[in-house]
Amino acid sequence: MTPVLYLVIPCYNEEQVLPLTSGKFKSKLDELAEAGKISGESRVMFVNDGSKDSTWDILSSLCDEDPRYCAISLSRNRGHQNALIAGLMEAKEHADITISMDCDGQDDINAIGQMVDEYAKGNEIVFGVRNDRSTDTWFKRTTAQSYYKFLKGMGVDIIPDHADYRLMSSRVLDALEGYGEVNLFLRGIIPQLGFKQSVVYYSRAEREAGTTHYPLSKMASLAIDGVTSFSVRPLRMITLLGLLVAFLSFVGIIYVLVSVFTGYYVDGWASTTCIICFVSGIQMISLGVIGEYVGKIYLETKHRPRYIVSERLNIPEK
Ligand code: UDP
Ligand code: MG
């Protein structure tokens, strides 16, 4: 039996992009259905992440035009990762497989066919991995590469150059449902789920219109989430740093005692001040790192919902 595929596409203020890309998603589904690779019940599912522009109006008219489009709307902007999980959880009730992708045309739609082929071979998770970073700025390329190295050093297992373009089966999504964390970093969780996994390479295009919603500040906070949601190694490093500073102080004390007993006069207010500044700096940083984790515990213990779906269009009956 051919699988029902849902493309899950989060959209936030994408009025400029949607008229250019929405038709391409649908044509791709038609092409794959005609080739007998997916079922005719397959759909393009948009998730409106609390957009403030006319995105929802555009999505509503698409849904009116064609039942192969469906959409849900979140009650307010919850961010890319939450919009994705909202769409995936909605889609898994109707689909055998889902593919999550950006709505701006950056994720090459021609990789969809290859992903479906990989699924047919028995893979339940297929990661879309970029085969080059030439469309990125020098800054984004360098920071991304250093970040992957840093994550590896912290013991976090993620797939380099893979963002959120991936295929997952409904069985995988059932497993993902059990991960109730509010600090969501999907590209860290999904490799951990297990199941049979494979990779499809694609070249990432430029955005067709509009601008990115990931400015430096959001990228930095996603990067911090990536570390603190998956590794406690920074906490251990603080302990090691504490031990190192304690050891150095111990050596310092012995030096002072020896100086006093040998009658050597020590003036040194400057060195004392330097040491106080250095140690209090380290303490501040350490408190900050611990605070990151405490903050996360605080958010997790409240068990608040990650998103609220306020509207649904063309979602089939179960
Ligand atoms: N997005 C979202 N909610 C947000 C920010 C972004 O749903 O708060 C969507 C956005 O519409 C796009 C995808 O997430 O489909 C990726 O965002 P973007 O293309 O701006 O990021 P980039 O590709 O530049 O990293
Ligand atoms: Mg994009």
Q: How is the chain split into domains, by residue range?
A: 5-213+305-313, 233-302
User: Residue 108: CB within 6 Å of ligand 1?
Assistant: no
The pLDDT mean for the chain works out to: 89
Q: Regarding the domain delimited by 5-213+305-313, which CATH topology (the fold level of the hierarchy) does it fall under?
A: Spore Coat Polysaccharide Biosynthesis Protein SpsA; Chain A (3.90.550)
How far is it, in rounded angstroms, from Cα 107 to Cα 85? Answer: 18
Q: What is the pTM of this model?
A: 0.84
Q: List, for residues 65-88, the tens digit of each pLDDT value.
A: 999 999 999 999 999 999 999 999
The pLDDT value given to residue 266? 63
Q: List, for residues 33-70, the tens digit of each pLDDT value.
A: 999 999 999 999 999 999 999 999 999 999 999 999 99
Mutate to test the pocket of ligand 1, among 20, 49, 80 (most ligand atoms within 8 A of CB): 80
DSSP per position, 37-86: SS-TT-EEEEEE-S-SSTHHHHHHHHHHH-TTEEEEEESS---HHHHHHH
Average pLDDT of 104-125? 94
DSSP 8-state assignment for residue 303: T
Q: List, for residues 2-16, the tens digit of each pLDDT value.
A: 999 999 999 999 999
Ligand 1, residue 47: give the atom nearest the CA. Answer: 7
Ligand 1, residue 9: give the atom nearest the CA. Answer: 15
The pLDDT value given to residue 48? 97
The pLDDT value given to residue 121? 95
